[in-house]
Chain A
Amino acid sequence: MGRNRWNLPDLGFGIGLRTVHYSYILANQPPIDWFEILSENYMDTGGRPLYVLDQVAERYPVVLHGVSMSVGSTDPLNLDYLKKLKALADRTRAHWVSDHLCWTGVSGINVHDLLPMPYTDESLRYTIERVRAVSEILERPLVLENPSTYLEFGTSTWNEVDFLSTLAQEADCGILLDVNNVYVSCFNHGLDPEAFIDRVPADRVVQYHLAGHTHKGTHILDTHSDHVIDEVWSLYRRSCQRTGGVATLLEWDENIPGFEVVHAEALKARRHRGLPEPDHQRAYGT
């Protein structure tokens, strides 16, 4: 049983469900703990993606993870979107639903990016109300992820981690702590990632994200295109000591290798949590 505020379960070590792995998963039913589903890829289709999702949800625990909720936007909440999201969560018996502390557009436009919030009192008050409203519509607590960011607003009066922590406490939502995003944002803004990790309220952390990134010299882009670097593993270990370890998910979205490679990368997290290797980890030769 997890130590988080809602006793949401520690699902173990999963990966994101991606199209390139569909055939492998259906044919082999690999021994993976769970899958994270990109909500928007399945909300508006009645074709093969939904068929595959139904097969996966039948065999594995799943969690929904979205990129278009736009919880920080000053546009009205998209009730049609939330209705579809709730239906998908019910259909897949998702353990929880997550999205990002960000906005994706205003005036009816969606730029399909996780845009940063100004960390002000005004945005905090506003986002708290929005998160409460979303949780009510979804009839389950929302879990919010810290995004990777590439700029800082001069108007911000809060730092990101205190803004996120206060939001989680006040709006009663969970935190999906993306450890790679902590590293990326702190590098881009010249901040201390360990201090960030240490200030996250442990009882609010429901899930971890791990991923690789692309270092451009002057800044880091969160590309999910490579293996997790040692510094991120170190931050993950540091956070696990505080949370006791929660459901952990490896993201890989560019130059996606075969299923075994991605799964093996996810299973490395077991070692970093001090857990023994399962048999299938040895089978993948990691």
Chain B
Amino acid sequence: MAPDLGNTQKWMQAVILHPGSDRQAVASSEARKLVPPSRFPRLIRPSRTLDSFERIGIYRGMYLARLQEALEADFPGLLHFLGRKRFSDLATGYLDRHPSRSHTLNRLGDRLPEYIRSSPGMARQDFLYELARFELLMSRLFDAEESPALTPEAIAAVPPESWETARLKPVAALSVQALRYPVGAYLEAVRQGKPGPATRRKNHWAVVYRRQYALRWLDLSRPAFRLLHALVDGVPLGEALSGVLRGGRQPVGEVQLFSWFRGWVTEGLFQAVELEDPQ
């Protein structure tokens, strides 16, 4: 009896996704439950030039090639560090564990950092995890909603007495990051075609954001990170400033704080000043 449409599709998908050879894929347990291998040559007709295995092999080859190409585009730093062969092995394993479940390839790498972190025996695992996480973040910020930056006029309109309790709303395409490896510098070197920089562990802090549709990042000192992190989390300005002035090992002066703040506003990191409701 001929398999129905649903079974045929499940069978073909199982064969396409199987990581082994064409023959292993057709004979795999998942595939043979749906179509016995003995029926295969009748289900997929040979052509004048290709047998049934070669014909379905075209789809299998295109599947891996297309999805690996998408991952390479989203993770150029990983590709550069690993080289094409090791990246391909990583991608093959990842796609086997996490096939795409989205209508868009933009979400294909969403679980790659966690896959790297959970893969046993991977050399430089911590660095690769952070690099993948950073590249994924860049992709998400690239696609984030566009929000208009705070204007000087909007700042001037805030009554001086309101700043203490005001909250600053960040633009949508922004993320404050505490990093353990110089992944931003590494990616920049890859982008510019320069030799890869050192990848030794080095705690540092940065804000990644999009301005005029281009992704950028600024390195931050630890106190600047603490202040910006607090503001992005919605802590009122006065509380965030005094928190940085009070705490931390590095002393920070008020002049320094306001210099950071002006710089961030100029860079367009905020979209609005939200004032406390007088009621």
Number of interface residues of A (CB under 8 A): 43
**A126, CB-defined interface residue at 8 Å:** yes
**B173, CB-defined interface residue at 8 Å:** yes
In the complex, the chain A residue whose C-beta lies closest to that of B100 is A110
Per-residue contact bits, chain B 131-151, to A (CB 8 Å; 1 contact, 0 not): 000000000001111100000
B contact patch SS: helix
One of B48-56, B220-228, B243-251 at the interface: B48-56
Q: With the chains together, A43 CA to B145 CA distance in Å?
A: 12
- Do B59 and A151 touch across chains, with their CB atoms under 8 A apart? yes
Q: What residues of chain B lie closer than 8 Å to A284, measured between beta carbons?
A: none
Q: With the chains together, A181 CA to B47 CA distance in Å?
A: 17
One of A28-36, A111-119, A228-236, A270-278 at the interface: A111-119
- Do B173 and A110 touch across chains, with their CB atoms under 8 A apart? no
CB contact under 8 A between A112 and B67, given known A40-B104, A47-B213, A218-B50 = yes
Q: What residues of chain A lie closer than 8 Å to B67, measured between beta carbons?
A: 112
Give chain B's interface residue range (CB within 8 Å of chain A): 35 or more
CB contact under 8 A between A43 and B55, given known A51-B146, A105-B13, A153-B43 = no
**B252, CB-defined interface residue at 8 Å:** no
| Residues in B82-112 with C-beta less than 8 Å from chain A | 99-107
A contact patch SS: loop
Q: With the chains together, A108 CA to B102 CA distance in Å?
A: 8
In the complex, the chain A residue whose C-beta lies closest to that of B146 is A46
Q: With the chains together, A123 CA to B142 CA distance in Å?
A: 40
**A106, CB-defined interface residue at 8 Å:** yes
Per-residue contact bits, chain A 41-55, to B (CB 8 Å; 1 contact, 0 not): 001111110110000
A-B contact pairs, 15 of them (CB 8 A): A40-B103, A44-B107, A46-B145, A47-B210, A48-B142, A68-B104, A109-B100, A110-B102, A111-B16, A112-B105, A113-B66, A118-B8, A155-B2, A190-B47, A219-B50
Taking Cβ atoms with an 8 Å cutoff, the residues of B that contact A are 2-6, 8-10, 12-13, 16-17, 42-45, 47-50, 52, 54-56, 58-59, 62-63, 66-67, 70, 99-107, 142-146, 172-173, 210, 213
